[in-house]
Structure 1
Amino acid sequence: MSADARTVTVKLLDKEYTISCPDGAEAELLASADYLNQKMLDIRHSGKIIGLERIAVMAALNMSHELIKSREEQRQAVEVNLRRLGQKIDQSLARNNTSKANENSSSS
């Protein structure tokens, strides 16, 4: 373990694990462990999957799916916002061009 790392004990399904993490990242690790533990508890309480390893794998798959889905939703939101911004720019340029055309015809 490096000098700028800490050890943190987390509890997953009533089992304790000592994890090394960068100094200052303890809160993030604990929050991540709490989230994982809740996902694992949900799976265990469903009664469909038995065994710590299988529950952990299913929780990891579910969380990976959530992450991928969230990334896709964010990508789509960015695309929508970019399209709206492009439309606003086009409208502004069109108004500006119309104003310039009117100024040029008035000054002639």
Structure 2
Amino acid sequence: MSGERSITVKILGCEFPMSCAIEEREGLLFAVSYLDEKIQQIKNEGKIVGNERIVIVAALQIAHELLTLRSVESFDMSEFKRRIQLIESKLDELLPRKES
């Protein structure tokens, strides 16, 4: 039986204490790193303002990646990139732009 350990992860500069099974620790840390990287990419683009919106867009992008991978038997990277760009352009239309 696996034991649970407390772990503190950092996302968007904030620390979050979590419980995690020892054998799942590496996967959790990878997921945290991936999410934080997505958030930072979106934040650095400067098109979306507000941490809440940035996190939502990051979550949508990751969800889209997952669903695309699940639904496509043979993965096509160019199609994947095209779909992400389409989502980003639609989000750009819907979300207010950052004022310079």
Fold agreement, TM-score > 0.5: yes
SS in 2 for 1:24: helix
Alignment RMSD (CA, Å): 1.5
TM-score (normalised: structure 1):
0.62
If asked which structure has higher relative contact order (CA below 8 Å, sep 6+), I would say 2
Once the two structures are overlaid, the 10-residue window that deviates more, 34-43 or 8-17, is 8-17
Aligned to 1:8: 7
**AA at the equivalent of 2:23:** G
**AA at the equivalent of 1:34:** S
CA offsets 1:11-41 (integer angstroms, 9 cap, x no match): 1111111111122211111000000000000
TM-score (normalised: structure 2):
0.66
Gaps of at least 5 residues in structure 2 are: 75-100
Could you tell me how far apart the structure 2 residues matched to 1:4 and 1:66 are? 31
Question: Superposed, which structure 2 residues align to 1:48-87 within 5 Å?
Answer: 48-74=47-73, 77=74
**AA at the equivalent of 2:37:** Q
Could you tell me how far apart the structure 2 residues matched to 1:54 and 1:7 are? 28
Gaps of at least 5 residues in structure 1 are: 78-108
- Say whether residues 1:43 and 2:28 are aligned partners: no
- Say whether residues 1:24 and 2:23 are aligned partners: yes
Identical aligned pairs, as a percentage? 38
Structure 1 or 2: larger helix share?
A: 1
Aligned to 1:33: 32
**AA at the equivalent of 1:62:** Q
Pick the structure with greater CA Rg: 1
In the TM superposition, structure 1's runs of 4+ consecutive aligned residues that sit over 2 Å from their partners are none
Once the two structures are overlaid, the 10-residue window that deviates more, 36-45 or 13-22, is 13-22
Aligned to 1:89: none
| Count of matched residue positions in the alignment of Structure 1 and Structure 2 | 73
